[in-house]
Amino acid sequence: MQKVLKVQLICEHFDQEGNAVDYKTICKLLWELQKQTREIKNKSIQYCWEYSNFSSDYYKEHHEYPKEKDILSYTLGGYVNDKLKAGNDLYSANCSTTIRTACAEFKNAKSDFLRGDKSIISYKANQPLDLHNKSIRLEYQNGTFYFWLKLLNKSAVKANGFRNTEIRFKALVKDNSTRTILERCAASVYDIAASKLLYDRKKKCWYLNLVYAFEPQLAKALDPEKILGVDLGIHYPICASVFGDLKRFTIDGGEIEAFRRRVEARKISMLKQGKNCGEGRIGHGIRARNKPVYAISDKIARFRDTMNHKYSRALIDYAVKNGCGVIQMEKLTGVTADANRFMKNWTYFDLQTKIEYKAKEAGIQIIFIDPHYTSQRCSKCGYIDRENRPVQSRFSCQKCGFTENADYNASQNISIRNIEKLIEAQLQTKCESQADNS
């Protein structure tokens, strides 16, 4: 499993004499490398295109495609690499990565070019710099993380008067999660993979898009036969339980609704204020006048995102704590006509996506089920009836008298393996018995 962490870099490099190299010099150097990367990529595409033309001409004449090995004496990628590897300042492993990427992109889009559906790839300025995993070294020293990056080849190192091939950057650590990830990378708990160096023109600084790889944790302690049924319901946004277990995991979700109401109330009062607002906002049209109001919608969206992260994390922790190797839930599509749900449907969809992602990380399998009748079925005796739901939030079996919270009962049904087949069979017998009675 791989993930990406964006880290801002500050140059902390010293030259041969031990003098600090300033950020501007490094920036200039990296911009030059960007320019070269762009050139290399565009030339790679050109070579691939030429070969592709040659290949189709050959086909017209010989009625078969030429073998790359016979014409170029090795593969196309190898041929392009050989043509382009000299004449630039890039560290060779990074340069090869760049060429390989461009050739692969050409190959993927080739049929589109030939059909004329797409124009041939042309790389723009501000290209990210490719970093081979061996070009990145992370070091932890007195509370600071340093990245030693191999960016230049030997002759370029000499030309710039640097001591060695690696250039040192300080990582700007702004939060604890970044710190934790970097700590794990430094301790080789996570492996650093091929990454990219990017320049942010607005912020005028360089970022490392650090790719790190890790094994999904705790997979061994989980029981592949133990299923956690997750109901995304009306009374609780999430209710989850293991079959036969009275213990349950619930999120009441009131905090999002309360936050939304609070903020919406403020939005209305701000809209009213807009009518007689101050000088600064007058005469700039409705958008400027109501600018603070638009900011509020973003605020709600961000709050939902944060809460969904928190909820999904808590759910996965519950599953892991209980040794559940499987989570069963209903597949949501993000668009439904059902407006009765507690929050908007996309919020549920987003929540589900986050659950899915975090489950994968923890080594938990996700099985999607069809939720039909799971809210009407008695999880104790299996009796299915619309009458089992006297009120929305309560479940009360008309046959065996089992009474529980409706979302809990649904989650119990969802935690049964092959529940769809079971319900189908039960509906079948119910139909038959009704036919016998009449």
Q: Is 161 left (phi over 0), alpha (psi -120 to 50) or beta?
A: left
Using the rule CB under 5 A, is 381 a contact of Zn ion?
yes
- Interface residue with Zn ion among 400, 421, 424, 429 (CB under 5 A) is 400
Tell me the closest approach of the beta carbon of residue 412 to Zn ion, in angstroms: 11
Closest to Zn ion by CB, 314 vs 381, is 381
Site stretch for Zn ion (CB under 5 A), options 190-198, 290-298, 308-316, 397-405? 397-405
CB of 430 to Zn ion, least distance (A): 13
Per the DSSP assignment, residues forming a β-bridge with 131 are: 195
Nearer to Zn ion, 187 or 381 (CB): 381
Tell me if residue 231 is catalytic. Answer: yes
Closest by CA position to 129, among listed 199, 79, 64: 199
- Active-site annotation holder among 130, 166, 231, 404: 231
Nearest to 85 by CA among 36, 52, 45: 36
Q: Which of 9, 355, 364, 397 binds Zn ion (CB under 5 A)?
A: 397
Is 330 a residue of the active site? yes
Short-list 337, 336, 329, 338, CA closest to 358: 329
Residues 402-421 binding Zn ion (CB under 5 A) are 402
DSSP state of 238: E
Half-sphere exposure of 72 (CA within 13 A, CB side): 21
User: Rounded CA gap, 406 and 160, in Å?
Assistant: 71
| 45 vs 397 by CB, closer to Zn ion | 397
Of 142-150, 194-202, 373-381, 407-415, the segment contacting Zn ion by CB under 5 A is: 373-381
From 378, 384, 416, 419, residue interacting with Zn ion (rule: CB under 5 A):
378
Note every long-range contact of 201-205, with CB atoms under 8 Å and residues 24 or more positions apart, other chains counting: 201/126, 205/8, 205/9, 205/10
Rounded CA gap, 114 and 55, in Å? 13
Return the closest-CA partner of residue 39 out of 129, 104, 154, 156. Answer: 129
Tokens encoding 309: 């992260």
Minimum Å distance from CB 402 to Zn ion?
5
Which entry of 130, 330, 350, 404 is annotated as an active-site residue?
330
Number of residues near Zn ion (by CB under 5 A): 8
Q: Hey, is 131 helix, strand or coil? A: strand
Question: Would you count residue 383 as binding Zn ion (CB under 5 A)?
Answer: yes
Judged by beta carbon, residue 166 or residue 404, the one nearer Zn ion is: 404
Based on CB atoms, which residue is closest to Zn ion, 178 or 376? Answer: 376
Is residue 27 within 8 Å of residue 151, measured between CB atoms? no
For the bound state, the minimum distance from the C-beta of residue 429 to Zn ion, rounded and expressed in Å, comes to 15
Q: Which of 380, 389, 394, 430 binds Zn ion (CB under 5 A)?
A: 380
Looking at 130, 350, 404, 407, which residue is catalytic? Answer: 407
Q: Is 207 in the site for Zn ion (CB under 5 A)?
A: no
Alpha helices in 340-405 (DSSP H): 345-362
Asked if 252 is an active-site residue, the reply is no
**Under DSSP, is residue 118 helix (H, G, I), strand (E, B) or coil?**
coil
Do 162 and 16 form a contact (C-beta atoms < 8 A)? yes
CB of 428 to Zn ion, least distance (A): 18
Per CB under 5 A, residues contacting Zn ion are 378, 380-381, 383, 397, 399-400, 402
User: Which active-site residues does the annotation give?
Assistant: 231, 330, 407
